[in-house]
């Protein structure tokens, strides 16, 4: 289940740079998918590029498309056609003194360090499950959303860093 999807949009869309879409169950996943397609429609008349890191995002978009279909086909296909994976660009362009080339290892070189010490995909699942078990834990949800926001912002930082090299 996709429980969290985030986009950093510049210039701001509806007054927001960060658009975090969150749910706690399968019904919510369908809602996230619909909200995401609405964002695609809202951006369709703009000139934009979608930066992501690794094949994960494309894989999950395809998975959601198969599962729920696409109501906003033109806007969705436009979004998909504008996706640029920063991971291979970083690997081809940078020799980093890091343990790997994952976003969490590279983002600090671009100027962004996640606020949570243990930020990462696996930890995100732990935070989600903890919140899912007890939804009164607003601090856990805030940590999860902050992690996603910072991941989205990390893409911006890495893209700008690559341009400066």
pLDDT tens digits for range 16-75: 999 999 999 999 999 999 999 999 999 999 999 999 999 999 999 999 999 999 999 999
Domain containing 139 equals 4-164
Report the number of distinct structural domains present in the chain: 1
Please write the tens of the pLDDT for every residue from 75-124: 999 999 999 999 999 999 999 888 899 999 999 999 999 999 889 999 99
- The pTM for the full model equals 0.93
Closest CA to 111 of 61, 164, 55: 164
């Amino acid at each position: 289940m996709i429980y969290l999807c985030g986009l950093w949009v510049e210039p701001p869309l509806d007054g927001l740079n960060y658009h975090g879409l969150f749910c706690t169950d399968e019904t919510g996943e369908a809602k996230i998918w619909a909200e995401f397609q609405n964002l695609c429609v809202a951006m369709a008349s703009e000139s934009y590029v979608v930066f992501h890191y690794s094949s994960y995002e494309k894989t999950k978009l395809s998975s959601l498309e198969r599962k729920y279909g696409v109501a906003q086909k033109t806007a969705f296909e436009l979004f998909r056609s504008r996706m640029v994976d920063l991971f291979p660009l970083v690997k081809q362009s940078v020799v980093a003194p890091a343990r790997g080339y994952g976003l969490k290892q590279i983002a600090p070189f671009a100027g962004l360090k996640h606020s949570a010490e243990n930020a990462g995909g696996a930890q995100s699942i732990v935070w989600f499950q903890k919140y899912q078990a007890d939804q009164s834990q607003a601090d856990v949800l805030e940590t999860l959303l902050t992690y996603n926001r910072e991941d989205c912002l990390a893409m911006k930082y890495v893209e700008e860093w690559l341009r400066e090299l």
